[in-house]
Amino acid sequence: MSLLDRIRACQVYDPEAYCPFLVDGQSVGHVRAEAIVELADFGEVFVFDHGRILLRGHIQGFQARTEAMASVTEELRDRGLVFGWRDEAYPVGVSFHEPPLFDMERAAVPFFGVRGYGVHVNGWVDAPDGPKMWIGRRSLTKPTGPGLLDQMVAGGQPSGMALHENVIKECREEAGMAPDLAATAKPVGAISYLTTRDEGLRHDVLFNYDLQVPEDFTPVNEDGEVAEFMLWPMVKVLEELETRETFKFNSALVVIDFLVRHGFVDPETPGYTDIVAGLHG
Amino acid sequence: MSLLDRIRACQVYDPEAYCPFLVDGQSVGHVRAEAIVELADFGEVFVFDHGRILLRGHIQGFQARTEAMASVTEELRDRGLVFGWRDEAYPVGVSFHEPPLFDMERAAVPFFGVRGYGVHVNGWVDAPDGPKMWIGRRSLTKPTGPGLLDQMVAGGQPSGMALHENVIKECREEAGMAPDLAATAKPVGAISYLTTRDEGLRHDVLFNYDLQVPEDFTPVNEDGEVAEFMLWPMVKVLEELETRETFKFNSALVVIDFLVRHGFVDPETPGYTDIVAGLHG
């Protein structure tokens, strides 16, 4: 699988198969057309109008919307349509920097195709024999991508927390890292994608950080979400991406972004311009 | 002007105002609808079909197409419709990494709205009092953006030259730099935009490089294309971008890309996700 194939694997979306989900006249997500029937029982929460799903207009304000959506997502969970419940509130709105219209359980984000946000931290070492990257293998108990390869540290962005606070929290939980080292993580951009997965529609923005760790630092997982850590030369990281199906779909894009920004992928590579643009699809 | 405004200034495009330009059934550019009348005299070169302009099918092969287009562009120059003639052959095709369908004079690229390519080199210094960037002021004799601010080194990508060779050539011509230092320029990605300018439609990909130069290096222009060089702290570069109209439209995007990749623009900045995605519009 070429790097470009990995990008295209994150661009699987047929607009015809989805219905827009609107709140206060603004599109906040997309629900799979086949799943609409599951929402028909919630006539007190939704209106169905010309192939669109609207949150009823009398449900106004953050708190009321959050409660109405909670009643829906809990029922969808009980029906087995929303799985991997996490008890994590995710903000839902039209963009990251505007106040959210409501909070919703993270596990329901793909069902409603609303935007998800995360922080991903590339941990790397400037070793004498060349730069290396810390790669984590996800725990087999993770609801998405169990056993797959990931950044040293990565986590969803919950409601009500600043990005850099979340980075420090996740660095502690996932890699046992002290806050003063975690605070040196440098924001380096973001990637985005809109793609169909088993769990539903993923329409995410991942905020990326580079964190150069000392040679004598070894990540130690504290929350059980990482099965093991490996320190790989960049050539091995690139080879793994190009030859094996071992990286989580979105974590692969974060690694590709790192490889591009650090010059490990040459601009003479066929498809380079599509690779770079595709990281922001 | 916010950083996001600068991005949006590079997204001025109304598809209704342009006609696709096709060669061998493949779209390679867009000509402003108002300008079609100027091409009506070239019936031996073009066919006009349902709002599209097609290179005549009997003009086959790289050489024949290049000659046919040269006769057109020279006439357009004589009519004053293509200006700033450079005698530089630009490759025209469907993507950067596929063999070009023909070569065309660089000055005619915006008239036909075909893809243009360039290399832009961010020259920066890791000074004891913080990182600084070398900024060039374009010569007043440049056909586009005279007197405006630019990267330390930037140049169009001509036909038949590798990107890294072009970087070394431009570093010599624009900054008087020795090849061994220029060869340390690191590819860090690309930006792209599609926007309407005085000269026509600009649909470009810029391949970006970061080049850390020693503190005792001072660029010296050799080809008359740079009026002066300034070494600015990054905060001044950011402030200049946000408060003054002094950067060339596309060079501003290259600087913003640098600021994002190096963490000088914080992801908590409103519009951050649109800024990052907009660099690849």
Best B11, B96, B269 residue to mutate vs chain A (most A CBs within 10 Å):
B96
Domain of A261: which CATH number? 3.90.79.10
Among A92, A107, A117, CA closest to A29: A92
CA distance A167 to A101: 24
Q: Which chain B residues are closer than 8 Å to A268 by Cβ? A: 97, 162-164
Among A120, A108, A87, CA closest to A29: A108
Please report the residues numbered 241 through 280 in chain A whose beta carbons come closer than 8 angstroms to any beta carbon of chain B. 260-263, 265-274, 276-277, 279-280
CA distance B204 to B195: 9
Using the Cα atoms of residue B178, residue B213, residue B133 and residue B166 in order, give the sign of their dihedral: positive
Query: pTM for this structure?
Result: 0.95
Q: Closest chain B residue to A206 measured between Cα atoms?
A: B273
Q: Which of the 8 DSSP states describes residue B57?
A: T
Question: In B243-258, which positions are buried (b, 16+ CB within 10 angstroms) versus exposed (e)?
Answer: eeeebbbbbbbbbbbb
Please report the residues numbered 88 through 117 in chain B whose beta carbons come closer than 8 angstroms to any beta carbon of chain A. 95-97
Does residue B236 share a domain with residue B147? yes
List chain B residues with pLDDT less than 70. none
Does residue A195 share a domain with residue A84? no
Give B123-161 as a DSSP string. Answer: EEEEETTEEEEEEEEEPTT-SSSTT-EEESEEEE--TT-
Does residue A265 share a domain with residue A180? yes
Does residue A249 share a domain with residue A177? yes
Does residue A217 share a domain with residue A175? yes
Positions of E strands within chain B: 18-23, 26-32, 46-49, 52-55, 89-92, 102-105, 115-127, 130-138, 149-151, 153-156, 186-197, 200-212, 226-233
Best B272, B274, B279 residue to mutate vs chain A (most A CBs within 10 Å):
B272
Domain of A83: which CATH number? 3.30.750.160
CB contact under 8 A, A272 and B96: yes
Nearest Cβ partner for A188 among B97, B205, B261: B261
Q: Which chain A residues are closer than 8 Å to B211 by Cβ? A: none
Q: Which chain A residues are closer than 8 Å to B262 by Cβ? A: 186, 188
Residue A38 is predicted with a pLDDT of 93
Q: CA torsion B1→B5→B7→B9, rounded to 10°?
A: -100
Contact A144, A159 (CB under 8 A): no
Where on the phi/psi map is residue A80: left (φ > 0), alpha (ψ -120 to 50), or beta? left
Print the domain residue range for A20.
15-113
Domain endpoint, select from B56, B84, B112: B112
CA distance B201 to B263: 32
How far is A120 from chain B, CA to nearest CA, in Å?
13
Q: Which chain B residues are closer than 8 Å to A187 by Cβ? A: 260, 263, 265-267
pLDDT tens digits in sequence order for chain A, 281 residues long: 899 999 999 999 999 999 999 999 999 999 999 999 999 999 999 999 989 999 999 999 999 999 999 999 999 999 999 988 999 999 999 999 999 999 999 999 999 999 999 999 999 999 999 999 999 999 999 988 999 999 999 999 988 899 999 999 999 999 999 999 999 999 999 999 999 998 899 999 999 999 999 999 999 999 999 999 999 999 999 999 999 999 999 999 999 999 999 999 999 999 999 999 999 98
Does residue A121 share a domain with residue A90? no
Residue B143 is predicted with a pLDDT of 85
Among A253, A259, A268, A207, CA closest to A5: A253
Q: What angle do CA A256, A258, A263 make, to 5 degrees?
A: 95
**Judging by DSSP bridges, how do beta strands A18-23 and A52-55 pair with one another?**
parallel
Q: Which chain B residues are closer than 8 Å to A4 by Cβ? A: none
Residue A159 is predicted with a pLDDT of 85
CA distance B18 to B27: 12
Q: Which chain B residues are closer than 8 Å to A263 by Cβ? A: 186-188
Does residue B103 share a domain with residue B128? no
CB contact under 8 A, A270 and B187: no
Residue A160 is predicted with a pLDDT of 87
Please report the residues numbered 182 through 241 in chain B whose beta carbons come closer than 8 angstroms to any beta carbon of chain A. 186-190, 192, 205, 207
Distance, C-alpha A226 to centroid of its chain: 16
Domain endpoint, select from B45, B78, B112: B112
SS (H, E, C) A200-215: EEEEEEEEEEEEECCC
CB contact under 8 A, A188 and B276: no
Counts of helices then strands in chain B (DSSP H, E):
9, 13
Number of neighbouring beta carbons within 10 Å of residue B71 = 12
Q: Which chain B residues are closer than 8 Å to A279 by Cβ? A: 280
What H or E segment, with its residue span, contains residue B39? helix B36-39
Among B250, B272, B247, B248, CA closest to B261: B272
State the number of CA atoms in the 13 A half-sphere of A131 facing the CB. 16
CB contact under 8 A, B279 and A279: no
Does residue B84 share a domain with residue B130? no
Does residue A121 share a domain with residue A104? no
Residue with tokens 């599509």: A274
Nearest Cβ partner for B162 among A96, A261, A268: A268
How far is A210 from chain B, CA to nearest CA, in Å?
9
CB contact under 8 A, A187 and B279: no
Does residue B241 share a domain with residue B181? yes
Nearest Cβ partner for B277 among A262, A269, A280: A280
Residue A1 is predicted with a pLDDT of 84
Does residue B183 share a domain with residue B60? no
CB contact under 8 A, B277 and A276: no
Domain endpoint, select from A90, A113, A136: A113
Q: Give me the number of domains chain B comprises.
A: 2
Tens of pLDDT, residue by residue over B228-275, are: 999 999 999 999 999 999 999 999 999 999 999 999 999 999 999 999
Tokens standing for A17? Answer: 């198969």
CB contact under 8 A, B273 and A163: no
Residue B244 is predicted with a pLDDT of 92
CB contact under 8 A, A95 and B205: no
Does residue A63 share a domain with residue A94? yes
